[in-house]
Structure 1
Amino acid sequence: MENSRRKFLSSISLLAVSNVIPLSAFSFNLNDRKLKIVLVGTGIRGTSFWGKRLVEQYSDILEFVGLCDINPGRLDYAKKYMGVSCPTFVDFDKMVQSSKPDLIIVTTKDSTHHEFIIKGLNKGCDVLTEKPLTTDEIKCQAIINAERKSNKNLIVGFNYRWSPYNTKIKELLAKGNIGRVTSVDFHWYLNTYHGASYFRRWHGLKESGGTLWVHKATHHFDLLNWWIDSDPEQVFAYGDLEKYGENGVLRGENCRTCDVKSECEFYWDITKDKRAMDLYVKNESYDGYIRDNCLFRKEIDIYDKMSAQVKYKNNVVLNYSLTTYSPFEGWRVAFNGTEGRLEARLDIPYEEHISINQAEMHANEMNQTSNEENKYEPIFVHKLWNDFEVVKVPFSRAGHGGGDAALHHKIFKNPDENDPYGRAAGIRDGVMSNLIGIAARKSIETGEIIKIADLTDLEPIKKRS
């Protein structure tokens, strides 16, 4: 166990590496005990990826010593689902004071991430937070300030970097296969199952999730920052709400009680989802959170179509779009370079010549195991004056394209292995991916080009690696 624990501590330090903000290594005095972890926020992601999976895979080197949530019913469920015996708390400060954790994992509503990150750092704990880091530039700066004053580390749990497919794109670009990258087109399509789900939940309110520019697109912007190997400098964006919210003709309180559900194409029967019923529906009485809210309630104030242009410090120009009501779920990216072009895409049905179950796609992505065998996805590399080359990459849809398992593997199983792709994400990565979405939202509201340097005291840098 001693060797595993040393590897774990080393891995946390690697994950927190930052180009600009100095970070100290973890300095636990564990002697012969396990790493003590607490989790705040017991929703789907917290209880599964950062909860149950850690318990099942790494109980030899870590233990949960506390769970915290404002909903006591969800806490009871989480404890049973994760298979832990630790105490539960509705008061975060009391949990930290009594359990004295080494590491705090934050998986609460996005708008409250900063509260627990800052408190955790101030209390002398290392913190790992789910993406996005936070929801606006003021909270970003507060987190930066707290991290600087602390002798502890903040880690952002980006997993898309770790999928083999996305890593292969990074490798090909880094090798200069298309010369110096000059521009990028990136388009993400959320289907009418997954895309619609954001508008049912708290994500549909700007005050809770900062819009999908922040909650969803921060994943994409982190990938792009990493692929492009530079920081964003300026952002201009358009966005609107044209499908969901007040645009709907049919409207009810929620799917379960709706009088017109038989007529609604977006009707979702939550009663067929046992986990959602046990975690959310059975505990509505505690905090009033409804998981199957109407997509067309008038309080929704986020965008359902989004487009942005981003200029990077190294002069790369990015064209980005996000659609939330596509017939299919997938994405495309194209990199134009001085010596060619690289194209990649996933799950575009008519290009894969297969029928994909759109209703099950997101569930399969979140699932940590896959039944797919010997599946490959192509990346197209086209050099000037030559025919194109097809690079085939082993692919699994489960666990965010294999990124979930690879991220945990790096942290807990093989942290000492050199990573030539620089996939470890620290606070600067979290901030810069966050600021693109925040800037895009501000650009829509003001009609102006937003400079990233005006949002926090972090100056964009030309080359990150």
Structure 2
Amino acid sequence: MPTEINRRHFLTMLSSLSAGTAVAGSTLWSPILKGEKLKIALVGTGIRGITFWGRRLVEKYSDILEFVGLCDINPGRLEFALKEMQVSCPTYANFEKMVQERKPDLVIVTTKDSNHHEFIIKGLDMGCDVLTEKPMTTDEFKCQEIIDAERRSNKNLIVGFNYRWSPYMTKIKELLMEEKIGKVTSVDFNWYLNTYHGASYFRRWHGLRQAGGTLWVHKATHHFDLLNWWLDSDPEEVFAYGDLEHYGSNGPFRGNNCRDCAHKDKCAFHWDITKNEFLTNLYTKNEHHDGYIRDNCLFREEINIYDKMSAQIKYANNVFVNYSLTTYSPFEGWRIAFNGTDGRLEAWQDIPYVEEQDVSQAELHAQEMNQNAGEINYKPLIAHNLWNDYERIMVGYERGGHGGGDKRLHDKIFVHPEKEDPYERAAGVRDGAMSVLIGVAARNSIESDRPVRIAELTDLQPRAKRI
């Protein structure tokens, strides 16, 4: 890992940035040019913040960066975050005070989705580069505010899309770039969340539309970003259906939370958070500070998001996409098929009757989130050209860290942002907006019973080819 950057290399890097080939945020390297560490402040000390954007950065990149402040409204989680991340920086309840006193180079935003815009905008306006977890925000109005803030700030917003960086996803991009199946004309994309991972969204704040924007935004933004990147085009129009028919008020009974529920012996979804020491220390022991319950009943009446979703997306390059998301599948996985003028490309992950599973459904998500599970396996892609037999292409695959994407995203941002990437995997504000806007358009389409054009939502105009 580089610890010094000489002047010639830095000037080359700036030239690369001005040419548009480097990742947004390459100017973050300027402190290192001066022999200093990159100063980072984190707002939002939930599980994603203190693990992936916290502890992992401390463990892997402490020679080039340091945390200078942590911010959260929950003092108990802040105290736990210091220990878990193994840092000794000051903690704050007030974001502006933290930025004013600690003067970070980079602010990392990992708060509740509905608050992302607040800290992104304040961070940019206060002179910081900002990195946000996906989704960038939850509606079109906040999205426009973020776009405006980046334009006026002369700073960079980076969106943490990690799935792009998985070798398996990258191989799909490579084959499409090579026109392995000719020009892509349509796509079928189906994502399945199982009754372990899928149900968890309905226990948490994600089950409230006002907090997470529905799973059209919180979860599907991952999938829509992949589509935008794979197809190298912007979405133009969306028509969607969605309903809540399994969780929420559809349940046969309900309680306050899983710990004290009178129905735990007969509820197939019962989950004992006290068996997880990490989650107990982070959430359960600190819920008295802000009232956030991590093991809420997933049949509570207040749930107001969809648990089944289907959309048709028309792209500016005239590709048609059929997309669906199911949140109570017996298995966790996905399928995609690209139809082209010269054939068809098919890919999938964790379809149990298609491939041999070496992990239980209960463990799938935990292993995906595990940053140390780096064992390489091989999974197939199927390329089938017209008038020819199909071809099975084996691709290296890592179970942990979102298919190996997490560590590659980190390396791009913090180790070699200047390195040219032929697959253009770095994501900025436009990428964040276009992925969110598909979900917002789908939500608006359901409510208005009509197709929604992306151009209606913000001042960004869809392009047939991404720039």
- Name the TM tier (shorter chain): over 0.9
For 1:318, which of 321, 340, 347 is the aligned residue?
Answer: 321
Cα distance in 2 for residues equivalent to 1:446 and 1:437: 14
- On the 8 A contact 2:25/2:129 being kept in 1, the answer is no
Question: What secondary structure does 2:265 align onto?
Answer: coil
- Are 1:154 and 2:157 an aligned pair? yes
Cα distance in 2 for residues equivalent to 1:134 and 1:319: 24
Matched residue, 2:53: 50
- On the 8 A contact 1:15/1:155 being kept in 2, the answer is no
- On the 8 A contact 2:26/2:418 being kept in 1, the answer is no
Q: Give runs of aligned pairs for residues 169-180 of structure 1, distance below 5 A.
A: 169-180=172-183
- Are 1:404 and 2:423 an aligned pair? no
Q: Which amino acid aligns with 1:163?
A: S
- On the 8 A contact 1:48/1:82 being kept in 2, the answer is yes
- On the 8 A contact 1:179/1:338 being kept in 2, the answer is yes
- Are 1:112 and 2:115 an aligned pair? yes
Over 3 Å counting, the alpha-carbon distance change for 1:8 and 1:236 in structure 2 is farther
- Are 1:208 and 2:234 an aligned pair? no
Matched residue, 1:70: 73
For 1:124, which of 121, 124, 127 is the aligned residue?
Answer: 127
Cα distance in 2 for residues equivalent to 1:171 and 1:56: 32
Q: Deviations over 1:366-405 (max 9, x none)?
A: 00122645x2100000000000000000111100000001
For 1:427, which of 426, 429, 432 is the aligned residue?
Answer: 429
- On the 8 A contact 1:334/1:341 being kept in 2, the answer is yes
Superposition deviation, residue 16 in structure 1: 11
- On the 8 A contact 1:8/1:411 being kept in 2, the answer is no
Superposition deviation, residue 28 in structure 1: 4.1
Matched residue, 2:370: 367
Count of matched residue positions in the alignment of Structure 1 and Structure 2: 462
Matched residue, 1:234: 237
- Are 1:217 and 2:220 an aligned pair? yes
Superposition deviation, residue 412 in structure 1: 2.6
Matched residue, 2:99: 96
For the aligned residue pairs, the C-alpha RMSD in angstroms reads 2.2
For 1:283, which of 272, 286, 294 is the aligned residue?
Answer: 286
Superposition deviation, residue 413 in structure 1: 3.0
Any runs of at least 4 consecutive aligned residues in structure 1 with deviations exceeding 6 A, and if so which?
4-19
Structure 2, unaligned runs of 5 or more: none
Q: Which amino acid aligns with 2:384?
A: H
Superposition deviation, residue 2 in structure 1: 2.7
Q: Which stretch has the larger CA shift, 146-155 or 23-32?
A: 23-32
Question: What secondary structure does 2:424 align onto?
Answer: coil
Q: Which amino acid aligns with 1:194?
A: H
- Are 1:450 and 2:452 an aligned pair? yes
For 1:381, which of 368, 380, 383 is the aligned residue?
Answer: 383
Matched residue, 1:38: 41
Question: What secondary structure does 2:233 align onto?
Answer: coil
Calculate percent identity across the aligned residue pairs. 69
Q: Which amino acid aligns with 1:287?
A: D
Question: What secondary structure does 1:178 align onto?
Answer: coil
Q: Deviations over 1:79-112 (max 9, x none)?
A: 0000001000011111111101110000000000
Superposition deviation, residue 141 in structure 1: 0.3
- Are 1:82 and 2:82 an aligned pair? no
Matched residue, 1:439: 441
Over 3 Å counting, the alpha-carbon distance change for 1:281 and 1:419 in structure 2 is same
Cα distance in 1 for residues equivalent to 2:19 and 2:138: 22
Q: Deviations over 1:260-314 (max 9, x none)?
A: 1010000001011111000000001100000000000000000000000000000
- On the 8 A contact 1:178/1:339 being kept in 2, the answer is yes
Over 3 Å counting, the alpha-carbon distance change for 1:17 and 1:131 in structure 2 is farther
- On the 8 A contact 1:349/1:355 being kept in 2, the answer is no
Cα distance in 2 for residues equivalent to 1:261 and 1:12: 59
Matched residue, 2:184: 181
Q: Which stretch has the larger CA shift, 156-165 or 354-363?
A: 354-363
Superposition deviation, residue 24 in structure 1: 9.1
Question: What secondary structure does 2:398 align onto?
Answer: coil
Cα distance in 2 for residues equivalent to 1:448 and 1:382: 36
Q: Which amino acid aligns with 1:37?
A: I
Structure 1, unaligned runs of 5 or more: none
Q: Give runs of aligned pairs for residues 256-405 of structure 1, distance below 5 A.
A: 256-354=259-357, 356-370=359-373, 372-373=375-376, 375-405=377-407
Q: Give runs of aligned pairs for residues 412-423 of structure 1, distance below 5 A.
A: 412-423=414-425
Superposition deviation, residue 23 in structure 1: 8.8
Over 3 Å counting, the alpha-carbon distance change for 1:344 and 1:285 in structure 2 is same
